[in-house]
Amino acid sequence: MPKILWDERGNPYNEEYGDCYFDNTNGLEESRYVFLEGNNLPQAWANKDDFCIGECGFGTGLNLLAIWDLFLTCKATPKRLHYYTFEGFPLLIDELQTAHKLWPSLENLAHRVHLAYPQNPQNGIYELDFSPLHVKLVIGMAPKAIDAFDKPIDAWFLDGFAPSKNPQMWSDELFESIAKHSKKDSTFASFSVASKVRKGLKKAGFDVRKKPGFGRKREMLCGSYLG
């Protein structure tokens, strides 16, 4: 399990990787800007029967809460929303609860996640049913964890720690696995503009574009799979 430190605002920091989980001034708005807007949501899922999101790095579950909140407040939604995510070093339930105190507007959704989240997360697959939202949480390391995703992904949230902090995750095998589980025009978004990420996604068949980043981050990446 990761060793978590907490700053004076209650933001979590992973001591092993020497990196924070999200923007320390407004993590929720960062998630909405980078991953939701970066994947053109909610427009991308309008009036579809099924829509599947794939996430690399569950972390505190902030992106899940952000997309669930959007799903509940958006008019044109898919009939079923699938959220597939993996995490190599899962937080414990009490750490998840502490992190979620930062976003009182999402308290009700966070509480439902707490009830379904594994009390002692071990390597394996956990199904969290919030019908019509279905979550598949895979505890394990990339890229093998992605092979547990049994539906093609419409939108990717590439949210692992920065490549400079976590180089073993951002491998050619990861990008190849992402491509294998994508379909033509599947989109992605990532806070990282590192050369390793850009080149890896391009090599795997993605169109890669830069756009202005959130807060102090000058740039971010987004794009789509060319097939």
Q: Mean pLDDT, the chain, as a whole number?
A: 94
* 98 burial level (CB within 10 Å; 0-12, 13-18, 19+): middle
Q: Please give, one letter per residue, the 3-state secondary structure of 82-139.
A: EEEEEECCCCCHHHHHHHHCCCHHHHHHHHHHHHHCCCCCCCEEEEEEECCEEEEEEE
Beta carbons within 8 Å of 8's beta carbon, 6+ residues apart: none
Higher pLDDT, 60 or 1: 60
What does the alpha-carbon distance between residue 189 and residue 33 come to, in Å, rounded to a whole number? 10
* The amino acid at 170: W
- 2 pLDDT higher than 80: no
Residues 65, 33, 133, CA angle at the centre, nearest 5°?
30
Question: Partners of 210 in the beta sheet?
Answer: 221
Per-residue b or e along 102-120, where b marks 16 or more CB atoms closer than 10 Å to that residue's CB: bbeebeebbeebeeebeee
- 192 pLDDT higher than 90: yes
DSSP state of 45: G
Q: What is the pLDDT of residue 1?
A: 67
Question: Partners of 206 in the beta sheet?
Answer: 225
**Rg of the Cα atoms in the chain:** 16
- How does pLDDT run across 97-153, given as a tens digit for each residue? 999 999 999 999 999 999 999 999 999 999 999 999 999 999 999 889 999 999 999
- How does pLDDT run across 166-176, given as a tens digit for each residue? 888 899 999 99
- 60 pLDDT higher than 80: yes
Closest to 130 (Cα-Cα) out of 77, 85, 97, 81 = 81
pTM: 0.95
Q: Which two tokens stand for residue 96?
A: 């998840």
What does the alpha-carbon distance between residue 127 and residue 77 come to, in Å, rounded to a whole number? 22
pLDDT band at 215 (very low <50, low <70, confident <90, very high): confident
Roughly how many angstroms between the first and final C-alpha of the chain, as a whole number?
Answer: 37
pLDDT band at 18 (very low <50, low <70, confident <90, very high): confident
